[in-house]
Structure 1
Amino acid sequence: MDRRQFVKTAGIGAAASASLAAPAIAQSAPEVKWRLASSFPKSLDTLFASSEVFAKAVAEMTDNKFQIQVFAAGEIVPGLQALDATTNGTVEMCHTACYYYLGKDPTFALLTGMPFGLNARMADAWFTHLGGNELANEFLAKYNVIGFPGGSTNAQMGGWYRKEIRDVADLQGLKFRVGGFAGRILSKLGVVPQQTAAGDIYPSLEKGTIDAVEWVGPYDDEKLGLYKVAKYYYYPAWWEGASMIHNLINIEKWNELPKSYQAVVRTASAMQNDWLGSRYDSLNPAALKRLVAAGTQLRPFPQPVMEAAYKAANEVYAEVTAANPEFKKIYDSVVATRADQYLWWQVAEYTYDTFMIRTRARGG
């Protein structure tokens, strides 16, 4: 064999060896670029940042073959139109709270968290192990999307008020920015519910367009500066013992993904879910201390207000379940889960937490 023939043959062999050595996933992984519309502004380095955590994880798990660019509310569509943009394919996916779309169907509210419903850990159990995600996606298919939990805010605060709430009568005529199903319930108590996007909350409260506002909790509320224009900070948000935020994906775009990429999205969503809840737990205590030091008046909702709200909630649930079979199907599943979960929490979690809270109060 002459030298030129040897070099040619050797080159072919080297190329073949390199091809065989390449990982199978690298050979089959396509370049994919998606856009994600967040319902939240960049100023919220919790909710918005969780989508950046998600996108970074997707890129790293695919060696940057699958890239998702995250857009804040208003950059492509307003925050409350993220679902519509995903449904019609303007974007491939969004990160949003399903209860923003209550006007389309009240069933959406149950996917974020129903008043007097599950806490954050219970919601994780329901979505992951007790059929919640399957029920959610059966419903979401009507809107051309598939969804995965993308983080919980955990139990929220009851909001900021310009005046004290001493009894149910103080709720009469109150213009209250409140999301989801809580508005329906509070309207039975005389409240005038308002739906306001995150970026409009502060100016609306400052100008008196609204009298009170709930958002999330100490860290995010401090970021929005709500303590500067309202003095009284109430707890708990009985309407959001947990507030699950979802990654909603256009179903055609989802079906186009290789199975390996679908697995990556599910895995990255689970990472995002863990990241967001734990981030709130890490940030809220110090933020609450700062707010109180700045003059915030921390108040629990009076027991008569809680009891009236609970009664009104059950009245609304009876009305909606009688008229909406899809709502009833998911509602019944959540209520059954709540009953079993609180049986367990009463035995273990609650008794432990109660003892430790009392010990802390004694200076232990």
Structure 2
Amino acid sequence: MTLSFKTLAGTALAASLMMTSPLIANAQEFTLKVQSSDAAGVPNFVIEQEWAARVGKMSGGRIAVEMLPVNSVVEHAETQDAIAAGIIDGHITDTSYFTGKDPAFGLIANPVGAWSAPSEMLRFVEYGGGKELMNEMLEPYGLHFIGAVTPGLEAFVSSKPLDGVADLKGLKMRAPEGMVQEVFAAAGASPVNIPQSEVFTSLDKKVIDAADATVFSTNQAMGLHDVAKHPVYPGFHSMPMLEVSVNKEKWDSMPEDLQTILEVSVRDLARDMDAQLAMKDMEAVAKARAEGGVTIHNWSAEERNKFRKIATSQWEKVAGRSENAQKVYDTLVKYLTAQGMI
């Protein structure tokens, strides 16, 4: 049962006072309680637990990371405040959960249409200004951003052949409210808000022709390809960024070698998560092709760029909603332009 935020904050304060004792300070050991946005047992959480074990080995036991499943200490949208208060020490979570605090979090977390592969997003974060932006936005809230990971690019479910932007015109499709709907509408589609649980029935009864659902392997496991036999894979529209962040005071108290270990380990976690989850998708794709009856469409780089250019007009609307959102927009567009992606 999740305890109240105030109760946990009081407990955290008492614990922090105890941690100021010279004995503990001299031990140079750090325990990090990190809450995930994933449930216990799902592949993402298992991969995160493996990362936690590696950090312990890499640091010679000087860092102990305890991975906690979603909502185990606080609700998933409260982790940012809980880290600042010392209730937990860090999180691996979707940055868009904090869009209510600043629209910039939603824009950097999932700029719809920006990425066609995890490597593109990770390059932006590490070398294109994303990491610096995240710390500029998070540090006022008492957090330090270590790095980013992602569960991968979502596939697109369709009962009609889709080989490019032109095929989206008039397409009846399911999309969640917000920027995803706005981008698809700007591309000529007719998006509607339907719960994930109703996607199969809506496709089967031809209420919709297509859907923004999730990754290929999960879409297949849910039977969506039985009623929508023209999936687009790899997808072209959505890939969430999961941030790995910790309490800034705790980060600042760590020696440089331990900070470096965490930074390098998160880069490895990103590669590990991408590789393991991509393997599941590729196995599902191979099975779908072997069984027949499904035609998998893969958009060209040119068509992906067309969709990305349409998406930028919607990013620009978000940019006007806060100073940080404008910084995200400017940095993102500059990076994509330099990379020849728009």
Shift of 1:36: 1.5
CA distance in structure 2 between the aligned counterparts of 1:222 and 1:84, rounded to whole angstroms: 37
CA RMSD of aligned residues (A): 3.9
The secondary structure found in structure 1 opposite 2:175 is strand
CA distance in structure 2 between the aligned counterparts of 1:81 and 1:230, rounded to whole angstroms: 37
Specify whether residues 184 and 228 from structure 1 end up closer, same or farther in structure 2 by C-alpha distance, changes over 3 A only: same
Q: TM-score, normalised to structure 2's length?
A: 0.71
CA distance in structure 2 between the aligned counterparts of 1:317 and 1:117, rounded to whole angstroms: 10
Residue-by-residue CA offset, 1:244-300 (whole Å, 9 max, x unaligned):
321021223323434433222212112112212232343332221223456555356
Residue 170 of structure 1: aligned partner: 171
Does residue 105 in structure 1 map to residue 106 in structure 2? no
CA distance in structure 2 between the aligned counterparts of 1:302 and 1:130, rounded to whole angstroms: 24
Q: Structure 2 regions of 5+ residues with no counterpart?
A: 1-24
Shift of 1:95: 0.8
Residue 268 of structure 1: aligned partner: 265
Answer whether contact 2:107 2:315 (CA < 8 A) is retained: no
Residue 277 of structure 1: aligned partner: 274
The secondary structure found in structure 1 opposite 2:42 is coil
Residue 132 of structure 1: aligned partner: 130
Answer whether contact 2:79 2:91 (CA < 8 A) is retained: yes
Answer whether contact 1:149 1:244 (CA < 8 A) is retained: no
Residue 68 of structure 2: aligned partner: 71
Residue-by-residue CA offset, 1:44-92 (whole Å, 9 max, x unaligned):
31x2233113211211123334222212224334445444443444321
Residue 87 of structure 2: aligned partner: 90
CA distance in structure 1 between the aligned counterparts of 2:218 and 2:327, rounded to whole angstroms: 33
The secondary structure found in structure 1 opposite 2:318 is helix
Shift of 1:314: 3.2
Answer whether contact 1:39 1:80 (CA < 8 A) is retained: no
From 322, 325, 342, the equivalent of 1:324 is: 322
Q: TM-score, normalised to structure 1's length?
A: 0.68
Residue-by-residue CA offset, 1:121-156 (whole Å, 9 max, x unaligned):
3333332233321122101223322213242344x2
Map of 1:140-151 to 2, 5 A cutoff?
Answer: 140-151=138-149
> Which deviates more from structure 2 when the two are superposed, residues 323-332 or residues 254-263?
254-263
The secondary structure found in structure 2 opposite 1:63 is coil
CA distance in structure 2 between the aligned counterparts of 1:255 and 1:42, rounded to whole angstroms: 30
CA distance in structure 2 between the aligned counterparts of 1:205 and 1:31, rounded to whole angstroms: 49
Specify whether residues 150 and 306 from structure 1 end up closer, same or farther in structure 2 by C-alpha distance, changes over 3 A only: closer
> Identity of aligned pairs, percent?
19
From 227, 239, 251, the equivalent of 2:237 is: 239
> Which deviates more from structure 2 when the two are superposed, residues 106-115 or residues 133-142?
106-115
Answer whether contact 1:168 1:308 (CA < 8 A) is retained: no
Over alpha carbons, which structure has the higher Rg?
1
Does residue 253 in structure 1 map to residue 254 in structure 2? no
Q: Structure 1 regions of 5+ residues with no counterpart?
A: 1-26, 347-364
Residue 159 of structure 1: aligned partner: 156
- Aligned-partner residue type, residue 191 of structure 2: V
* Matched pairs, number: 306
- Aligned-partner residue type, residue 140 of structure 2: K
The secondary structure found in structure 2 opposite 1:249 is strand
Shift of 1:220: 4.5
CA distance in structure 2 between the aligned counterparts of 1:222 and 1:29, rounded to whole angstroms: 50
From 94, 114, 125, the equivalent of 2:111 is: 114
CA distance in structure 2 between the aligned counterparts of 1:73 and 1:183, rounded to whole angstroms: 27
CA distance in structure 1 between the aligned counterparts of 2:226 and 2:79, rounded to whole angstroms: 30
Answer whether contact 2:144 2:246 (CA < 8 A) is retained: yes
The secondary structure found in structure 2 opposite 1:149 is strand
From 214, 217, 221, the equivalent of 2:215 is: 217
Answer whether contact 2:174 2:212 (CA < 8 A) is retained: no
Answer whether contact 2:114 2:308 (CA < 8 A) is retained: no
CA distance in structure 2 between the aligned counterparts of 1:64 and 1:275, rounded to whole angstroms: 22
